[in-house]
Amino acid sequence: MEDKSHQEHKKYAADIDSISKAQARIKPYVHITPVLSSETLNSIAGKSLFFKCECFQKGGAFKFRGASNAIFSLDDEQAAKGVVTHSSGNHAAALALAAKLRGIPSYIVIPKNAPKCKVENVKRYRGQVIWSEANMQSREETANKVLHETGATLVHPYNDGRIISGQGTLSLEFLDQVPQLDTLVVPISGGGLISGVAIGAKSINPAIRVLAAEPKGADDAAQSKASGRIITLARTNTIADGLRASLGDLTWPVVRDLVDGIITVEDKEIVEAMRYCYEILKVAIEPSGAIGLAAVLSDSFKRNPDFKDARNIGIVLSGGNVDLGVLWESLNNR
Amino acid sequence: MEDKSHQEHKKYAADIDSISKAQARIKPYVHITPVLSSETLNSIAGKSLFFKCECFQKGGAFKFRGASNAIFSLDDEQAAKGVVTHSSGNHAAALALAAKLRGIPSYIVIPKNAPKCKVENVKRYRGQVIWSEANMQSREETANKVLHETGATLVHPYNDGRIISGQGTLSLEFLDQVPQLDTLVVPISGGGLISGVAIGAKSINPAIRVLAAEPKGADDAAQSKASGRIITLARTNTIADGLRASLGDLTWPVVRDLVDGIITVEDKEIVEAMRYCYEILKVAIEPSGAIGLAAVLSDSFKRNPDFKDARNIGIVLSGGNVDLGVLWESLNNR
């Protein structure tokens, strides 16, 4: 039976060992992010909510956990040639920052529709920006071109065991800070964060419930779960610019097996959650980062009998990189 | 010599004993607020900055420390009659919340020009709002009227030993979290916060430097220090709505004796600091709350030879209650 359990873990691109090793590896570089709570929001939700503030992570998002794990996993020879990635923003900035800390070059392929503040973060951390068209094919082709020219190592934003393990460190830290958590609500896009979190959290507490939060306008994960295979959307339509990616072949098995449900929310619910974060929690959050709160406050969560017994809910506020103008427009045009 | 030291402490409305007692008294009710830091802001400042995030305190500001100390200091008979205060906002909400937690009524006199979100906070905590004109005379007269009608206890926003002791708990907590602090920068208005912080911090580390940050358009504390007596301004003009009050007879002696300098800043510097808090720290802050960072980034701080040796600077981000519309207008109209 022990062998079976061991084999189970090995089914995925990360396991509790790789996550624990990642935690030790990145410890000198990452912030231990605070957990906030609010009686007002508890009253609104009818639950005890604990907010893991990854918006305060270096680079402004959880992405630095995975990026620093990937960068500091490289041997010296690999590292010297630098790293390359394509990303709409937070992974890009995180990788540039981790590369800067290791003193190696980073080549960042950014789609033309990326938020301005996220591009500025890449430049601030001395990443070399290479523009692509705003579709996945152009992003990947451009990244491959850079890769062949430089010999740099590709660090995919989510479909990479080192990234999944790095993001998983969040769950070890969170359960250490709030051991009584019975439910985690985690944004889902490509699935790197929730894969690492689900593997990590369920290794510590197999009974914990792990739920994904996804925009209705980019609900590929919900459709994938429903149909039992990876569904890719031809187009997405959501204010949550960080949640438009599709699941990868390394993240899908974890989402399929270990994620207990996917809550889809409307953009207007995301904006309302952003406002709560701003006005009540006093935390500056991007739309993608606020979706976990939006999910918990949504009717589809509240009315789901499966979630009735959730009492102590951990919500990952995953990122804070928002253009102030975009925030203001979205709050005003609800 | 010991007697003299004892007498020194007794000169003021609070001392390390009253602050320590306050800390024990309010411990069940207050948040231990996190300390954030940012390499980016350290680079900009050329110093190591540590941000004590009182915007995450209950009620959204440090004021809950003093308010809860005052409320839970009352004997049952006094308490049953409730409390009354006049305040432009954060003290009002804090007192209402503390009263709600003790289950007693609170009567809150609010000037007509108070920010909307601060009034909403008072109502959220079930404070009974009584409007006054936007000047100190009308505020005090209205409060006195309520006081005589109800028998409630007046809890002044700052000129009160219980309040000063409560606010002082911030310094004990901060120095416990970051023992290497050599300088503290604290917003000053009526002086309750900085009095408590100066007494508390210097009791733990007599060598620590305590600096006040004040808007140029409400620089009564700087003028008072310069002239050696309390100066009251006929009018003030600043975006920092929480920093318009004048020193009281209990706070002035502490400011006179224990505050090592007052840094005055322009409103545009406050707005720039707000933007940094938002975009880099990811913290939603009100203008008054951001003034400590504005002070540290100001030329008058950087060029002052007295502050050259400041290395580890603790900045109190004192409150986060800002109307989103006001924030946006101020950021856009710099």
Chain A partners of B56 at a C-beta cutoff of 8 Å?
A: 34, 36, 281-282
Regarding whether A270 and A125 lie in a shared domain, the answer is no
pLDDT tens digit at each of 334 positions of chain A? 444 444 454 789 999 999 999 999 999 999 999 999 999 999 999 999 999 999 999 999 999 999 999 999 999 999 999 999 987 689 999 999 999 999 999 999 998 888 788 888 899 899 999 999 988 889 889 999 999 999 999 999 999 999 999 999 999 999 999 999 999 999 999 999 999 999 999 999 999 999 999 999 999 999 999 999 999 998 999 989 889 889 999 999 999 999 999 999 999 999 999 999 998 999 999 999 999 999 999 999 999 999 999 999 999 999 988 877 777 777 666 5
Into how many domains does chain A fold? 2
Question: Cβ of A182: how many Cβ atoms within 10 Å?
Answer: 16
Residue A273 to residue A215: CA distance in whole angstroms: 13
Regarding whether B281 and B303 lie in a shared domain, the answer is yes
Residue A116 to residue A159: CA distance in whole angstroms: 25
Helices (H), A74-218: 76-80, 90-102, 116-124, 136-150, 161-177, 192-204
Q: Do A117 and B279 touch (CB under 8 A)?
A: yes
Q: Is A63 a catalytic residue?
A: yes
Question: Cβ of A128: how many Cβ atoms within 10 Å?
Answer: 17
Active-site hit among A58, A63, A118, A225: A63
Q: Do B40 and A284 touch (CB under 8 A)?
A: no
Domain of residue A106: give its range. Answer: 63-154
Q: Determine the residue among A282, A321, A328 to mutate to test chain B binding: the one whose Cβ has the most chain B Cβ atoms within 10 Å.
A: A282
Say which residues have a Cβ less than 8 Å from residue B200's Cβ, sequence separation at least 6.
B16, B19, B168, B169, B170, B171, B172
The dihedral over CA atoms of A58, A59, A61, A67, expressed in degrees to the nearest 10, equals -90
pLDDT, average across residues B305-318: 96
Question: No. of H helices and E strands in chain B?
Answer: 16, 10
Q: Do B324 and A275 touch (CB under 8 A)?
A: yes
Regarding whether B124 and B211 lie in a shared domain, the answer is no
Chain A partners of B331 at a C-beta cutoff of 8 Å?
A: 324
Regarding whether A306 and A172 lie in a shared domain, the answer is yes
Chain B partners of A39 at a C-beta cutoff of 8 Å?
A: 58
What pLDDT score does A333 carry?
62
Mean pLDDT of chain B: 93
Regarding whether B165 and B234 lie in a shared domain, the answer is yes
Does B80 score more than 60 pLDDT? Answer: yes
What pLDDT score does B128 carry?
95
Residues A276/A227, Cβ–Cβ less than 8 Å: no
Residues A182/A312, Cβ–Cβ less than 8 Å: yes
pLDDT, average across residues B93-108: 96
The C-alpha R_g of chain A, in whole angstroms, comes to 18
Regarding whether A295 and A192 lie in a shared domain, the answer is yes
**How many inter-chain contacts (A to B, CB under 8 Å) are there?**
53
Q: How far is B140 from chain A (nearest CA, A)?
A: 29
What pLDDT score does A88 carry?
67
Regarding whether A175 and A33 lie in a shared domain, the answer is yes
Q: Is A81 a catalytic residue?
A: no
The C-alpha R_g of chain B, in whole angstroms, comes to 18
Regarding whether A297 and A199 lie in a shared domain, the answer is yes
Q: Which residues of B touch A (CB under 8 A)?
A: 34, 36-37, 39-40, 53, 55-56, 58, 60, 117, 124, 275, 278-279, 281-285, 320, 324, 328, 331
Regarding whether B52 and B74 lie in a shared domain, the answer is no
Q: How far is B281 from chain A (nearest CA, A)?
A: 7
Q: Which of A132, A154, A176 corresponds to the end of one domain?
A: A154
Confidence of residue B4 (pLDDT cuts 50, 70, 90): very low
Regarding whether A180 and A134 lie in a shared domain, the answer is no
Q: Which of A154, A173, A190 corresponds to the end of one domain?
A: A154
Sign for the CA dihedral angle at B19, B25, B27, B30 comes to negative
Q: Write down the residue that tokens 């996917």 correspond to.
A: A262
CATH of the domain at A142: 3.40.50.1100
Active-site hit among A73, A88, A171, A288: A88
Regarding whether B233 and B87 lie in a shared domain, the answer is no
pLDDT, average across residues B114-138: 88
Active-site hit among B88, B106, B288, B330: B88
Residues A117/B279, Cβ–Cβ less than 8 Å: yes
Regarding whether B48 and B76 lie in a shared domain, the answer is no
Q: Which residues of A touch B (CB under 8 A)?
A: 31, 34, 36, 39-40, 53, 55-56, 58, 60, 117, 124, 275, 278-279, 281-285, 320, 324, 328, 331
What pLDDT score does A319 carry?
92
3-class SS of residue B157: coil
Residue B274 to residue B317: CA distance in whole angstroms: 10
Q: How far is A43 from chain B (nearest CA, A)?
A: 12
Higher pLDDT, A1 or B39: B39
> In terms of C-beta distances under 8 Å and separation of at least 24 residues, what long-range contacts does B78-82 make, across chains too?
B78/B153, B79/B104, B79/B153, B80/B104, B81/B105, B81/B150, B81/B151, B81/B152, B81/B153, B82/B106, B82/B107, B82/B150, B82/B152, B82/B153
